[in-house]
Amino acid sequence: MDLGLKGKSAIVTGGSMGIGTAVALTLAREGCNVAINYRRHDAEAKEVVRQIEQMGRKGLAVQADVSSHEDAQNMVQTVIEKFGGLDIMVCNAGINWDGVIWKMSEEQWDTVINTNLKGYFNYNKAAACVFKDQKSGKIVNISSINGMRGRFAQSNYTASKGAEIAMSKSLARELGKFNVNVNVVAPGLIWTDMAKNMPTEARNNSQNETALGRLGTPEECADVVAFLCSDRSRHITGEIIKVDGGQYM
């Protein structure tokens, strides 16, 4: 199915690994020029750009801290200069630093909130300023089913992911009259490095929660994101689409 994304320009935060890489490559496969940001994984980011360019698209990797408002503004302007515009913003960059709340440090709380929530605010705002004026654009925020249900020892992470959902709904209302769609993809446990590094028992418990009896893949998340970035989703906004194999049920 042609999603009509040829020639569109996209930013994917946290695009050097995991779901972000799958989203960046899927959008490129659908015809987009794609810029990714990264903080530490320089070699991985360059490899993603290489694969994007191998498909005949423009690729760009920008070292940027998502918690920096200035970095976000600068990255959006750089992409507009390099690609000639911006049509799609996918916010995916995030971290977890788990602990029960009575043991959680202020640093743990602030670091996760600044990356996962302020980072989404920074890039959503930068994109909204562009999309509002051009009266078109797609924003997709990657949250988590744990932002909808809570999770033991993840009060900082689940707070950030729940707030991403609430913010996205507000932005959908604010930007709808400008022909801008804002939606959320909420994965369950996906087979990424984070899942691979989990204790086996915890990973198996999550897998057993699913109706399909398996973990999802980054590519399965990316396919949903690509649909939400296309005009085929033009009458969908403010929605949360779970990609979890029935784990949340």
| Catalytic residue numbers, as ranges | 157
Asked if 66 contacts 113 with a C-beta cutoff of 8 angstroms, the reply is no
Residue type, 86: L
CA angle in degrees (0–180, nearest 5) for 237-238-240: 110
CA angle in degrees (0–180, nearest 5) for 162-163-164: 90
Nearest to 20 by CA among 157, 218, 163: 218
